[in-house]
């Protein structure tokens, strides 16, 4: 019951998080010097994870969009881990926290993800068991839930992709990359004092 309720309000919760995160990012700033080794390291690590997250989510979406709840997808990224979309999102959340160079934002983001998404996964697993029964149980017995097992990787020679689904998948993945622009613009606005900094985070 709890898992189903949380899953039902996933979009609303995500939007609330986005608004809260925007407030934190706009009016807080890290305390280390711009252009320092710490500054560059956080940005490089964060941007790398954001690019990886965008790729993983796009790759997963190509396999799942148009087939979800109709067919049990067990190929491509779904052959090595049962929840690759959420794994990509976790990488993206970590990347956002690092790229923002705002520890308060990073902690809030990861805390939300760790506290919220396991319930969403449990609800989806319950629905998949009801829909696919023994086929899904067999899949679960072989493919891990969160930690990829790359030795299991399988992909088809050909796979049907729906153009409308492809466009949606592309747009869904791009916000990770667009966030990089948002971070850079916010930093510039802080540097020229166009945005007030109300709190310096560690």
Within a domain: 92: yes
Residue 25 forms part of a structural domain: no
Residue 15 lies in a domain: no
On whether the CB atoms of residues 84 and 60 are closer than 8 A, the answer is yes
Inside any domain, residue 201: no
Task: Identify the pLDDT of residue 11.
Answer: 62
Average pLDDT across each block of 10 residues of the chain; the chain has 202 residues. List them in order.
53 68 76 77 92 92 82 95 93 88 81 84 91 95 95 92 77 82 84 81 68
Does 120 fall in a domain? yes
**Does residue 155 lie within any of the structural domains?**
yes
- Classify residue 102: in a domain, yes or no: yes
Using CB atoms within 10 A of its CB, is residue 91 exposed (0-12), middle (13-18) or buried (19+)? Answer: buried
- DSSP classification of residue 33: P
CATH assignment at residue 51: 1.20.120
pLDDT reported for residue 3: 46
Q: Which helix (H) or strand (E) holds 201?
A: strand 199-201
Q: Give me the number of domains the chain comprises.
A: 1
Residue 136's domain comprises 2-7+35-191
45 lies in a domain?
Answer: yes
Nearest Cα residue to 166 out of 71, 90, 82, 60: 60
CB contact at 8 A, 46 and 95: yes
Q: Tokens for 138, please give them.
A: 């067999």
According to the model, what pLDDT value does residue 126 have? 92
DSSP state at residue 29: E
One DSSP character per residue, 111-143 reads HHHHHHHHHHHHHHHHHHHHHHTHHHHHHHHHS
């Amino acid at each position: 019951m709890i898992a189903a309720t949380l899953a039902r309000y996933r979009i609303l919760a995500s939007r609330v998080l986005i608004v809260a995160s925007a407030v934190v990012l706009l009016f807080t700033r890290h305390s280390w010097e711009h252009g320092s080794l710490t500054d560059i390291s956080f940005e490089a690590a964060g941007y790398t994870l954001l690019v990886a997250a965008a790729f993983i989510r796009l790759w997963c979406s190509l396999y799942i969009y148009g087939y979800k709840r109709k067919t049990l997808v067990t190929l491509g990224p779904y052959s090595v881990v049962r929840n690759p979309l959420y794994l990509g999102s976790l990488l993206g959340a970590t990347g956002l926290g690092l790229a923002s160079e705002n520890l308060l934002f990073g902690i809030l983001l990861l805390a939300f993800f760790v506290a919220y998404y396991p319930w969403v996964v449990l609800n989806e697993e319950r629905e998949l068991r009801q829909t696919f029964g023994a086929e899904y149980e067999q899949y679960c017995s072989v493919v891990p839930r969160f930690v990829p097992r790359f030795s299991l990787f399988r992909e088809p020679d050909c796979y049907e992709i729906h153009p409308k689904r492809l466009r949606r998948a592309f747009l869904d993945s791009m916000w990770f990359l667009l966030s990089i622009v948002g971070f850079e613009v916010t930093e510039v606005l802080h540097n020229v004092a166009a945005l007030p900094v109300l709190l310096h985070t560690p």
